[in-house]
Amino acid sequence: MMKEIVFATNNKHKLEEIRHITGDHLLIRSLSEIGCYDDIPETADTLEGNALLKAAYVRGKYHFDCFADDTGLEVDVLNGRPGVFSARYAGEGHDFIANMKKLLDELQGFESRTARFKTVIALIINGNQYLFDGHINGHIINEMRGEEGFGYDPIFVPDGYNITFAEMSAEQKNLISHRAIATGKLVEFLRREFDHL
Ligand code: IMP
């Protein structure tokens, strides 16, 4: 029988990305596919904490093996902010443009603009918890460039490149991104766990 696991998200982009990696051997179900429409609390003050909260919520209420992710952009001169608050940096609206404007304002006058995207994935399987992470270093430029991607992509240039994430194709970004690295570690683990993936 095909193994199945819940990914605690309804984000189509993330679901597509991981289904592309795992192929037909693993059935990845989204929250809506298990009938979960809850606003799952993300009240922890670390990425690890939030990823675990989400995975534990689904495991506790729906009894599926499950994994969940949380991502943040950490800017060095801002002591790691926006970090765990990346989605709602400029307020609860999850407005990508407002978030970027706020960050650019805060960075005005700073020469050092090094930053990294970090993703943490929490997996709860057979009652055990595991964490996987991935990050990519880069820097924040002064203006927004590019139309692809989402979030802070238009202002983030990864090390070794002179274009932003938003100027890359999805395929190019997915080869190097924080989330792709963490997802790769998760899939590698699941391959061993399920043996035949
Ligand atoms: P989430 O944990 O994946 O929902 O990410 C939280 C927030 O981090 C998002 O709302 C975005 O603002 C930002 N973010 C996450 N991943 C990326 C990315 O790949 N590029 C740019 N911003 C991202």
Residue by residue, DSSP assigns 184-196 as: HHHHHHHHHHHS-
Tell me the three state secondary structure of residue 134: strand
pLDDT per residue as tens digits for the range 59-97: 999 999 999 999 999 999 999 999 999 999 999 877 999
The domain that contains 91 carries what CATH number? 3.90.950.10
Domain residues for the domain of 103 are 3-194
**Tell me, what amino acid is at 187?**
V
- Give the integer Cα–Cα distance in Å for 100 and 18: 27
Helix 12-22 × helix 178-194 angle, to 10°:
50
Q: Which of 86, 103, 119, 175 for a ligand 1 pocket mutation test, highest count of atoms within 8 Å of Cβ?
A: 86
Residue closest via CA to ligand 1's atom 13 equals 151
pLDDT in tens, 111-124: 999 999 999 999 99
Task: For residue 100, report the distance from its CA to the centre of ligand 1, in Å.
Answer: 12
> In the annotation, is 69 catalytic?
no
φ/ψ of 128, rounded to 5, equals -105, 150
Specify the pTM.
Answer: 0.94
Which residues does a 6 A CB cutoff place in the pocket of ligand 1?
Answer: 69-72, 86-87, 94, 99, 117, 149-153, 165, 177, 179
Domain count, the chain: 1
